[in-house]
Homo-oligomer: A and B are copies of this chain.
């Protein structure tokens, strides 16, 4: 054997060693693990509390944008519910949040076109300024993306309303990829159009299909540029507007009454079961308690909140005593500020807390498909392989563990070396509901929601038992 070959052989041998030992370990406890994961599912499907909790959060409280009275009610309600579970601690973690309000219902109207006047179904984008009481009126220039603006320049765009009309790519199997390929228009379109003197922006809704529901969502104004008002219009109306623009000049009138009010005091809601052997090792699971101000925030992200709470309830009901601390965190203000996620990571750093991993459920209450894992390169390289032996007990439930995104609220923990895990439900229907009036309780299926609780509880059980 040449030295080179020998080195290579040693390298390969050593590199598979941890895998082998973990596989053996997993094999040893495979039956026991499988049995407990089966129990977790049985309890979640027969004694879960997530569904009635979601009913209250959506039907009795409703939409709960950060800073709103409903957000305060959601904090109080979930705090009280966690307090009924006999946890070791339940507390509120303060954070200050922006407070944006939509005001009177928006008007977006085609004021001049081949078809005459047409009312469009619209929602002002979150964080957008209002138009003023008189509204604005201007010719519409349609584009399929931000990159077309430069070529059009000030000559074509000054004084106009820019309409961003690039649809989702339907061939992406995962709708979050399609969303990722379109959402720059909503997030940055207003400032990019303002660069060239545009006075307003319309954006095709971030939706998988054609229908009448406009989708709101956050925009980000860039410093040093004029803040111009922006609205999303439904995909059906975007199709119509696009077709009218092919034929003739179109003028639109838009009026919005949005305002950014003073910041408000708010909270993350936290409950935990303290670890019996390694209490200082923390496993976080959470969702975000705030939602947009339309619909009921059922999938986004009431589902993730009640699942996270229910995981603790299921563990308590099974009388499971974790070795490590399992902490449920309901983050405030994911939608338009991420102040809750930031406050949580700041305090963790200040206190020198050691987080093993953080799981976020913020992709809807649909049937579970698995988990996507993220982290600083060294953390990922060390910990991701340790999770692979768990496939054998998770596969019967259709759950994979893949590389991929964690979640917005837990992302500030990444620089602290925390492994970030995104719970991944099936994505097909999410962008039918996301940020709309139809994201309501009735759009969530009880079993699908409960299976999400069980999937995350199963992974947490494995992380708690074997460590990471």
10 additional A-B pairs beyond A208-B447, A428-B445, A429-B447, beta carbons within 8 Å, are A41-B171, A41-B173, A45-B171, A46-B171, A170-B447, A175-B447, A208-B446, A367-B426, A426-B426, A432-B445
Instruction: Name A153-205 residues within 8 Å CB distance of B.
Output: 170-171, 173, 175
Q: Which residues of A387-423 have CB atoms within 8 Å of chain B's CB atoms?
A: 397-398
Q: In whole angstroms, how far apart are the Cα atoms of A355 and B158 in the complex?
A: 67
Distance A62 CA – B293 CA, assembled complex (angstroms)? 37
**Contact flags A423-442 to B (C-beta < 8 A → 1, else 0):** 00010110010000000000
**A94 an interface residue at 8 Å Cβ cutoff?**
no
Whether, in the assembled complex, A451 has its beta carbon less than 8 Å from a beta carbon of chain B, the answer is: yes
Q: Is A139 an interface residue (CB 8 A)?
A: no
Q: How many residues of A contact B (CB 8 A)?
A: 23
Give the chain B neighbours of A398 by CB distance below 8 A: 369
> Contact residues of A with B, CB < 8 Å?
41-42, 45-46, 170-171, 173, 175, 208-209, 367, 369, 397-398, 426, 428-429, 432, 445-448, 451
Residues of B within 8 A of A42 (CB): 171
Of chain B, the residue at the smallest CB distance from A447 is B428
Considering the chains assembled together, what is the distance between the CA atoms of A42 and B451 in angstroms? 30
With the chains together, A46 CA to B432 CA distance in Å? Answer: 17
Q: Which 7 A-B pairs have the closest CB atoms?
A: A42-B171, A45-B170, A428-B447, A428-B448, A367-B428, A46-B170, A429-B445
Enumerate chain B residues within 8 angstroms of A170, measured Cβ to Cβ: 45-46, 447
A170 to chain B, nearest CB (A): 5
For the complex, give the distance between the alpha carbons of A408 and B171 in Å. 32
